Chain A
Amino acid sequence: MPAAGRAPDAPGERVISTVLDPAVLTPLVVHTEAWINFDVGLLIDRFWANTINGLAYGSIYALVALGYTLVYGVLQLINFAHSEIFVIGVFGVYLTFLGLGFEPGALPNLPLAAIILDLLLAGVVAMVVAGLAAVGLERVAYRPLRRRNAPRLAFLITAIGASFAIQQVIRIVRGSNPEGTIRLLPPSPAFTVFGAPVTNLQIVIILASIAMFIVADQFVNRSRLGRGIRAVAQDPATATLMGVNRERVIMITFLVGGVLAGAAALFYLMTIPQGAVYNGGFLLGIKAFTAAVLGGIGNLRGALLGGLILGVAENYGQSLFGGDWRDVVAFVLLVLVLMFRPTGILGESLARSRA
Chain B
Amino acid sequence: MRTRFATVSHWWNRQSRPVQWAYMVPVVLFLLALPVLNPPIITTEPYTDFPISLFNAAVFALIAIGLNVVIGQAGLLDLGYVGFFAIGAYTAALLSSPDSELGVRYPWLVIVPIAMVVTMISGVILGTPTLRLRGDYLAIVTLGFGEIVRLLADNVDPLRGNRGFQNIARPGGEFADGTPIFSQTDALGFYWLAVIIIVIVLLFMGNLERSRVGRAWIAVREDEDAAELSGVPTYRFKIWAFAIGAAVGGLSGTLFAAQVGYVNNQRFDVTTSILYLAAVVLGGQGNKVGVIVGAFIVSYIPDRFQFEPQYRFLVFGIALIVLMIFRPQGLLGMRQHLLTYGRQAYQKLFGARAAVAPSGLSASSRARGDLPEAVPDDHAGTSPRGGGE
Known: A22-B122, A148-B363. A328 touches B320 (CB 8 A): no
Is B177 among interface residues, defined by CB-CB distance under 8 A? no
Q: For chain B, what secondary structure do more than half of its interface residues adopt (helix, strand, loop), or is it mixed?
A: helix
A237 in contact with B151 (CB, 8 Å): no
Q: List 28 A-B contacts (CB under 8 A).
A: A20-B145, A21-B149, A23-B91, A23-B118, A24-B90, A24-B152, A28-B156, A34-B157, A36-B156, A76-B385, A149-B388, A151-B380, A151-B387, A152-B382, A156-B77, A157-B77, A160-B79, A160-B274, A160-B320, A161-B278, A161-B320, A164-B313, A237-B389, A282-B270, A328-B151, A335-B130, A338-B137, A342-B137
Is A162 among interface residues, defined by CB-CB distance under 8 A? yes
- What sequence of 0s and 1s flags, for each residue 1-39 of chain A, a beta carbon within 8 Å of any chain B beta carbon? 000000000000000000111111111100100111000
- For A236, the chain B residues whose CB sits under 8 A away are 385, 388-389
Q: For chain A, what secondary structure do more than half of its interface residues adopt (helix, strand, loop), or is it mixed?
A: helix
Task: Give me the interface of B with A, judged by CB distance under 8 Å.
Answer: 71, 75, 77, 79, 87, 90-91, 94, 101-102, 118-119, 121-122, 125-126, 129-130, 133, 135-137, 139-141, 143-145, 147-149, 151-159, 270-271, 274, 277-278, 281, 310-311, 313-314, 316-321, 324-325, 328, 361-364, 378-380, 382-383, 385-389
Which residues of chain A in 121-168 are interfacial with respect to chain B, using CB atoms and an 8 Å cutoff?
Answer: 140-141, 144-146, 148-158, 160-168
- Contact partner of A22 (CB less than 8 A), chosen from B121, B314, B363, is B121
Complexed CA–CA distance, A153 and B137 (Å): 12
- For B147, the chain A residues whose CB sits under 8 A away are 283, 286, 327, 331
- For B87, the chain A residues whose CB sits under 8 A away are 23-24
CB distance from B280 to the nearest CB of A (A): 9
Complexed CA–CA distance, A36 and B152 (Å): 11
B158 in contact with A20 (CB, 8 Å): no
B363 in contact with A328 (CB, 8 Å): no
- For A282, the chain B residues whose CB sits under 8 A away are 270
CB distance from B106 to the nearest CB of A (A): 12
B101 in contact with A23 (CB, 8 Å): no
Complexed CA–CA distance, A80 and B119 (Å): 27
Is A352 among interface residues, defined by CB-CB distance under 8 A? no
Q: Which residue of B lies closest to A289 (CB)?
A: B140
Known: A164-B274, A335-B141. A158 touches B321 (CB 8 A): yes
Q: How many residues of A contact B (CB 8 A)?
A: 69
B148 in contact with A20 (CB, 8 Å): yes
- For B121, the chain A residues whose CB sits under 8 A away are 22-23
B135 in contact with A152 (CB, 8 Å): yes
- Contact partner of A325 (CB less than 8 A), chosen from B153, B155, B313, B321, is B155
A335 in contact with B129 (CB, 8 Å): yes
